[in-house]
C-alpha cells in the first residue's frame, strides 16, 4: 500500500519540518516509528497529540536519549531501519553517540536524513532560528509585500514545509533509490535556508534577464500587475485573478464587461494604477458568490479566495476527495496521487508510545529482544 511500502523509517521527535517529512513518507506507505521523549516538556510544547496532523500514519515508542543505556536501544532500532530522520541542531546526535558515522557503521545502507534551518555547516549552523529567519536570509521574505510597505511573512510554509520538510522527503526518496542500486546509505543534509532559495529558483533567471525588480509589489507576480492580484468584493470577501496571457486577459475584460471601455494596455505599466482602480471599483459591485457565477466556465484565471474551512466544502475539493477525516480532524489527503500504489493516511496521530509494541514486532524484534530493550529504557503503551 503506497509506493514506499516496506520501507522502515526511524524518526526522532522534533517539531515542524522533520515530522512533516516523516508524514510524507508515512502517507506513501513507509512504516514510520517515532522515538518520542518520555514527555514533551523539552520541546516547550503543550499541544495534544490528537490534532498533531504531522504525526498521522506513525507509531511511537518513548526513550530518554540522555541516558547512556538509550544508545544501545537506538542502535538496535536503526540497524533495522532504512531511513533515519532527525531535526536537532548540528552536533546533537553526535554528542548522543548517534551521529552519521556511528549509525552508518552499524547500518551501511541507512539513509540518514538531517533537518536544520541553517544546514550542518557554515557560520550560522549552530544558531537558533525559525522559518521567518531562514526565508529572510534566503532573500525570499524580501519579495513578499506591497510596494512601499514592509515585507509580509507568508505563514511558515516556505521555510519549514516547502523548503524544509518537503525537500527532506524528496532527498530521502532520492537517497533510497540510490541505495537500492549501490547498497550504500548516505547523509541527506536538508537546510531550510537552502530549500527556500531553491523554491525561488525561477526568479534567479528573471533577475539575470532584468525581468524582475527587487522592489516589492511592482512585478508581474507580486501584486504589481493589476491583472494578477486579489480584489475585495461587495460582501467584504475576496477573489483572485491571474490573467497573464493575452487571451486570458481578454476573457477577464469580457467577464468584467470592460472590453469596450478605454482601459490602458495590459502592459502599460505607468497606467497600471488606473487599471487597478477600475478593476477594484468593478469587483466591489458584486458579492464573491456572484462573481463566481459570472466567471463560471471561464478561462480568465479566476478563483475565489477561500478560508481553510471553506475550501473543504468546495465542489472541486469534494470531487477529488482532497480532504480526509482522521481521528476527528479534517485534513488534506495525501498527495500526489498514484495510479497503481495509492497513498493513504492510515492512522490517527499516536499518543506517546502508542502502537510501539506492534511496530517492534513488525520490525522483527522477538519477545526477548523487546524485553531487553525495555530494560534499557524503551517504553511503549501496552496493546
Residues facing residue 324 across a β-bridge: 331
The one catalytic residue among 160, 189, 194, 222: 160
Measured distance CA(74)–CA(54) in Å, rounded:
22
pLDDT, tens digit, for every residue of 92-111? 999 999 999 999 999 999 99
Measured distance CA(84)–CA(63) in Å, rounded:
15
The closest of 133, 131, 76, 138 to 107, measured between CA atoms, is 76
In the predicted structure, residue 86 carries a pLDDT above the cut 60: yes
In the predicted structure, residue 52 carries a pLDDT above the cut 90: yes
Q: What percent of the chain has pLDDT over 90?
A: 95
Mean pLDDT value of segment 270-287: 97
pLDDT, tens digit, for every residue of 344-365? 999 999 999 999 999 999 999 9
In the predicted structure, residue 138 carries a pLDDT above the cut 90: yes
pLDDT, tens digit, for every residue of 185-223? 999 999 999 999 999 999 999 999 999 999 999 999 999
Q: What is the pLDDT of residue 46?
A: 57
Query: CB–CB of 21/168 below 8 Å?
Result: yes
Grid cell in block for residue 312 = 473543504
The one catalytic residue among 101, 130, 235, 268: 130
Measured distance CA(282)–CA(279) in Å, rounded:
5
Average pLDDT, the chain: 96
Measured distance CA(92)–CA(94) in Å, rounded:
5
In the predicted structure, residue 47 carries a pLDDT above the cut 70: no
Dihedral sign from CA coordinates of 335, 338, 339, 342 = negative
Measured distance CA(45)–CA(275) in Å, rounded:
48
Q: What is the pLDDT of residue 357?
A: 97
Enumerate the domain spans of the chain.
8-199+323-375, 228-232+238-304
pLDDT, tens digit, for every residue of 286-344? 999 999 999 999 999 999 999 999 999 999 999 999 999 999 999 999 999 999 999 99
CATH of 8-199+323-375, one of 3.40.50.10330, 3.30.70.980, 3.90.78.10, 3.40.50.10540: 3.40.50.10540
Annotated catalytic residue 357: no
In the predicted structure, residue 72 carries a pLDDT above the cut 80: yes
Domains 8-199+323-375 and 228-232+238-304 share a fold: no
Measured distance CA(11)–CA(34) in Å, rounded:
5
Dihedral sign from CA coordinates of 336, 342, 348, 353 = negative
Q: Please indicate whether residue 48 or residue 61 has the higher confidence score (pLDDT).
A: 61
CB neighbourhood size of 112 (10 A): 25
Report CA-CA distances (Å) from 122 to 14, 117, 132, 267, 322: 22, 11, 19, 43, 40
Q: What is the pLDDT of residue 223?
A: 95
Measured distance CA(312)–CA(331) in Å, rounded:
9
Locate all alpha helices (DSSP H) within 17-118, ordered by sequence. 17-27, 69-78, 92-95, 100-106
Task: Give the architecture (CATH level 2) of 228-232+238-304.
Answer: 2-Layer Sandwich (3.30)
In the predicted structure, residue 48 carries a pLDDT above the cut 90: no
The closest of 236, 235, 275 to 256, measured between CA atoms, is 275
Burial of 383 (0-12, 13-18, 19+ CB in 10 A): exposed
Q: What percent of the chain has pLDDT over 70?
A: 98
Q: What is the pTM of this model?
A: 0.95
Measured distance CA(259)–CA(167) in Å, rounded:
44
Q: What is the pLDDT of residue 14?
A: 96
pLDDT, tens digit, for every residue of 294-307? 999 999 999 999 99
Annotated catalytic residue 314: no
Amino acid at each position: 500500500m503506497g509506493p514506499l511500502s516496506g520501507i522502515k523509517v526511524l524518526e526522532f521527535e522534533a517539531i515542524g519540518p522533520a515530522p512533516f517529512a516523516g508524514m510524507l513518507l508515512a502517507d506513501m506507505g513507509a512504516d514510520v516509528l517515532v522515538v518520542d521523549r518520555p514527555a514533551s516538556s523539552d520541546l516547550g510544547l503543550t499541544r495534544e497529540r490528537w490534532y498533531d496532523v504531522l504525526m498521522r500514519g506513525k507509531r511511537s515508542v518513548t526513550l530518554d536519549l540522555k541516558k547512556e543505556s538509550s544508545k544501545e536501544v537506538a542502535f538496535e532500532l536503526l540497524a533495522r531501519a532504512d531511513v533515519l530522520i532527525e531535526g536537532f541542531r548540528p552536533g546533537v546526535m553526535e554528542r548522543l553517540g548517534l551521529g552519521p558515522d556511528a549509525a552508518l557503521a552499524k547500518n551501511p545502507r541507512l539513509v540518514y536524513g538531517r533537518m536544520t534551518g541553517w544546514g550542518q555547516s557554515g557560520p550560522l549552523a549552530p544558531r537558533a532560528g525559525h522559518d521567518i529567519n531562514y526565508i529572510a536570509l534566503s532573500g525570499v521574505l524580501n519579495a513578499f509585500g506591497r510596494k512601499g510597505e514592509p515585507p509580509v511573512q507568508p505563514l511558515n510554509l516556505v521555510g519549514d514545509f516547502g523548503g524544509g520538510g518537503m525537500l527532506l522527503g524528496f532527498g530521502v526518496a532520492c537517497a533510497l533509490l540510490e541505495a537500492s542500486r549501490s547498497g550504500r546509505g548516505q547523509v541527506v543534509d536538508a537546510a531550510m535556508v537552502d530549500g527556500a532559495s531553491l523554491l525561488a529558483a525561477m526568479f534567479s533567471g528573471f533577475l539575470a534577464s532584468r525581468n524582475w525588480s527587487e522592489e516589492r509589489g511592482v512585478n508581474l507576480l507580486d501584486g504589481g500587475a493589476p491583472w494578477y492580484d486579489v480584489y475585495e468584493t461587495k460582501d467584504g470577501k475576496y477573489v483572485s485573478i491571474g490573467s497573464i496571457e493575452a487571451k486570458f486577459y481578454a476573457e477577464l475584460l469580457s467577464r468584467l464587461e470592460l472590453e469596450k471601455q478605454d482601459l490602458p494596455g495590459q502592459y502599460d505599466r505607468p497606467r497600471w494604477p488606473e487599471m487597478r482602480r477600475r478593476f477594484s471599483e468593478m469587483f466591489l459591485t458584486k458579492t464573491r458568490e456572484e462573481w463566481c457565477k459570472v466567471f463560471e466556465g471561464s478561462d480568465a484565471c479566476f478563483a475565489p479566495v477561500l478560508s481553510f474551512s471553506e475550501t473543504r466544502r468546495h465542489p472541486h475539493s469534494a470531487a477529488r476527495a482532497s480532504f480526509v477525516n482522521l481521528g476527528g480532524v479534517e485534513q488534506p489527503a495525501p498527495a500526489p496521487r498514484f495510479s497503481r500504489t495509492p497513498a493513504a493516511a492510515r492512522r490517527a496521530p499516536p499518543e506517546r508510545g502508542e502502537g510501539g509494541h506492534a511496530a517492534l514486532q513488525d520490525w522483527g524484534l522477538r519477545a526477548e529482544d523487546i524485553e531487553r530493550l525495555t530494560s534499557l529504557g524503551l517504553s511503549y503503551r501496552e496493546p
